[in-house]
Amino acid sequence: MPPGSTPHAYTAIPGWVRALAVVAAVVVVLPLLAMVLRVDWTHFVPLVTSESSLTALALSLRTSAASTVLCIVLGVPLAVVLARDTFRLQGLLRSLVLLPLVLPPVVGGIALLYTFGRQGLLGRTLDVLGLQIAFSTTAVVLAQTFVALPFLVVSLEGALRTSGSRYEAVAATLGAPPGIVFRRVTLPLVLPGLASGAVLSFARSLGEFGATLTFAGSLQGVTRTLPLEIYLQRETDPDAAVALSLVLVAVAVAVVALAYRRPAAARTGSGRTTAAAPAGGNVT
Amino acid sequence: MMRPRMTRLPIPTARARALAAVLAAGALLPAVLTGCAPAGGTTAGADERTGARPAGTITVFAAASLKGTFTELAHAFEAANPGSSVTLSFAGSSDLVGQISQGAPADVFASADAANMQKLQDAGLADGTPRNFATNTLAIAMPPGNPAGIGSLKDLARPGVKLVTCARQVPCGAAAAKVAEAAGLELRPVSEENAVTDVLGKVTSAEADAGLVYATDINAAGGKVAGIGFAESQGAVNTYPIVATTTSRNKATAQAFLDLVTGAEGQKVLAAAGFGPADASGQGK
């Protein structure tokens, strides 16, 4: 059989694989459904629009937007260096950068505490500069950036490797300096990857809980983001907690839908850049 | 055993196998999910019915602040009653009530406040009247060396002092608010935590200058925090009630554990950890 062709016989899936796939889907979907069924719809709007809920939602959106910007500013260069450069200990650096993906967030919170806290590694230096990070909104943004950065780096590095460096090489031989190549060739090529990475980072920031609770504390309007508010409401008002959880689920669904519109995004992304570089999709 | 390896499977058989797999997985799932839960005294047998020696397994759900004392008491109980076994689960009282309401196999529930015990009673899960067995008051915890120079409750309201308390929604936060109100102080904490352990964590890491926690927490933290009591704490005394659950399948042993906690030995262990004696008027014996 010639490589590359995919005969139908090979795509047949054994029955037990299908069966387990159904179980897997149920494992994910059923708890969400159970939660939706518990929502107290008659009081949904007042529960969700209470002052503390709105404050928490606003804080969550503001901090997540800030940490997404931070992730882009710091994550793009890191992804480029990891994908394009070769240097000693590159593999080690990549593994370390990905650690927050698998670390329990509370561990991240403890690590941040011993870095930026008053008694931490940088705490005294920051104190001298008049910066106090613990218990501030800055701490929330730092915690979110710490856990969300790997999502952007992974997405973007993958996109960079897939797009290859041929066009960059061509641009360079035509006399474009590295700065121009980066801005006019590299970035436009990986824009879809960057976009989905940014969306995933935003979603991860929005859901951040453990590191925030450990590192930033919990105070209304300052550090109590929506997940922390849900955790607290659960103590006294489970209905409010369920209603707020649904809001977060809705946001998450929207974000995932946005991130997985990839084929369409890729087309528009590369379409705009045809002037600068031949789009990947046009080359066969 | 049929092993149709390498044989051509007709479609219906494949379907049947798929169905069987779904059924098997479905049957397996609850077993997996409950597999980690302790068995609620199903092995006790007739012994408990005859009201003889306490035996079998009981599961005790207790407030997080009881971790040290109840662990000690459970060992004492097992030693005094060979053949018995006590499984302990510690968490915030409201979490525990939630779990029991959702069917978690608890034989005994010890709450850190009356409000959460009331929730269990309202759910019809309390077997008889709860007995009060201990009290706890708030105290001020400070990092060792007391960097902010805290000497009294009033110092907590001083500008620049980084104070951490529990949120009003949890018992330790309600107590803190009550104490502050009674003292006419307006406390401005930099963080309002969900659990007293989170408050303690902020103090032991020296991020906070002071935290309002229970007196027993300071005892349990050993040298990791300094602590001072204050007279105003008597205005917000937390009472700890304990009760057996209606769903208990080992009532005799559960009752025996209750007796141990409320009896002389239990009271001695609790007092050593810094708990106050319970007010006799609240007892339902």
| Average pLDDT of every residue of chain A | 85
Give the residue from A141, A260, A259 showing the smallest Cα distance to A208.
A141
Asked if A214's CB is within 8 angstroms of B201's CB, the reply is: yes
Banded model confidence at residue A7, pLDDT cuts 50, 70, 90: low
Average pLDDT in the B151-169 region? Answer: 92
The range of the structural domain enclosing residue A206 comes to: 42-282
Indicate whether A72 pLDDT > 90.
Answer: yes
With CA atoms as reference, the chain A residue closest to B16 would be A15
Residue B259's pLDDT is 95
Structure tokens at B198: 């989170």
Banded model confidence at residue A256, pLDDT cuts 50, 70, 90: confident
A174 within some domain:
yes
| Check whether domain B52-135+239-282 has CATH 3.40.190.10, yes or no | yes
Average pLDDT in the A9-30 region? Answer: 89
Banded model confidence at residue B59, pLDDT cuts 50, 70, 90: very high
Q: Which residues of B touch A113 (CB under 8 A)?
A: 205, 207
A1 within some domain:
no
Partners of B56 in beta bridges: B84
Average pLDDT in the A152-161 region? Answer: 93
Asked if A235's CB is within 8 angstroms of B164's CB, the reply is: no
Please indicate if any CB of chain B lies within 8 Å of the CB of A23: yes
Residue B196's pLDDT is 87
With CA atoms as reference, the chain B residue closest to A15 would be B18
Residue A263's pLDDT is 53
A264 within some domain:
yes
The 10s digit of each residue's pLDDT in B92-131 is 888 899 899 988 999 999 998 899 999 999 999 999 999 9
Please indicate if any CB of chain B lies within 8 Å of the CB of A214: yes
Please indicate if any CB of chain B lies within 8 Å of the CB of A186: no
User: What percentage of chain A has pLDDT greater than the value 70?
Assistant: 88
For tokens 């009060």, name the residue.
B132
Residue B17's pLDDT is 54
Residue A253's pLDDT is 87
Q: Which residues of A touch B18 (CB under 8 A)?
A: 15-16, 18-19
Please indicate if any CB of chain A lies within 8 Å of the CB of B28: no
Indicate whether B78 pLDDT > 90.
Answer: yes
CATH label of the domain that carries residue A240: 1.10.3720.10
Cα distances (Å, whole numbers) of residue B205 to A74, A115, A270, B200, B208: 29, 12, 50, 9, 8
Phi, psi of A127, deg, nearest 5: -60, -45
B281 against A250, higher pLDDT = A250
- CA B188 – CA B232 distance, rounded (Å): 18
Write down the CATH superfamily of domain B138-235: Periplasmic binding protein-like II (3.40.190.10)
| Average pLDDT of every residue of chain B | 82
Banded model confidence at residue B43, pLDDT cuts 50, 70, 90: very low
For tokens 């708990």, name the residue.
B275
Structure tokens at B258: 């209750």
Structurally, how many domains does chain A consist of? 1
Q: What are the extents of the domains in chain B? A: 52-135+239-282, 138-235
User: What percentage of chain A has pLDDT greater than the value 90?
Assistant: 49
Indicate whether B2 pLDDT > 50.
Answer: no
* Range in A26-35, A51-60, B273-282 with the lowest mean pLDDT: B273-282
Give the CA-trace dihedral at B85, B91, B95, B101, to 10 degrees: 0
A5 within some domain:
no
A164 within some domain:
yes
The 10s digit of each residue's pLDDT in A88-131 is 888 899 999 989 988 988 899 999 988 998 888 888 888 888 88
A116 within some domain:
yes
User: What percentage of chain B has pLDDT greater than the value 70?
Assistant: 79
**Which spans in A164-237 are helix H?**
166-173, 178-181, 187-189, 191-207, 210-215, 226-236
Asked if A19's CB is within 8 angstroms of B22's CB, the reply is: yes
Average pLDDT in the A14-26 region? Answer: 94
Banded model confidence at residue A202, pLDDT cuts 50, 70, 90: very high
Residue B34: Cβ within 10 Å count = 11
Partners of B28 in beta bridges: none
Mutate to test the interface with A, among B97, B116, B165, B191 (most CBs of A within 10 A): B191
Give the residue from B248, B255, B263 showing the smallest Cα distance to B53.
B255
User: CATH topology of B52-135+239-282 equal to that of B138-235?
Assistant: yes
Residue B29's pLDDT is 47
- CA B71 – CA B240 distance, rounded (Å): 16
pTM of the model: 0.74
Indicate whether B3 pLDDT > 90.
Answer: no
Indicate whether B237 pLDDT > 70.
Answer: yes
A235 within some domain:
yes
What was the ipTM of the complex prediction? Answer: 0.71
Asked if B29's CB is within 8 angstroms of A113's CB, the reply is: no
Indicate whether A282 pLDDT > 60.
Answer: no
Residue B30's pLDDT is 45
Indicate whether B51 pLDDT > 60.
Answer: no
Portion 106-145 of A in contact with B at CB < 8 A: 113, 117-119, 134-135
Average pLDDT in the A191-212 region? Answer: 92
* Range in A155-159, A161-165, B5-9, B159-163 with the lowest mean pLDDT: B5-9
With CA atoms as reference, the chain B residue closest to A18 would be B18
Residue A234's pLDDT is 84
Residue A46: Cβ within 10 Å count = 12
- CA A76 – CA A88 distance, rounded (Å): 20
Residue B188's pLDDT is 93
For tokens 């930099």, name the residue.
B190
CB distance B186 to B154 below 8 Å: no
Indicate whether B168 pLDDT > 70.
Answer: yes
Portion 115-134 of B in contact with A at CB < 8 A: none
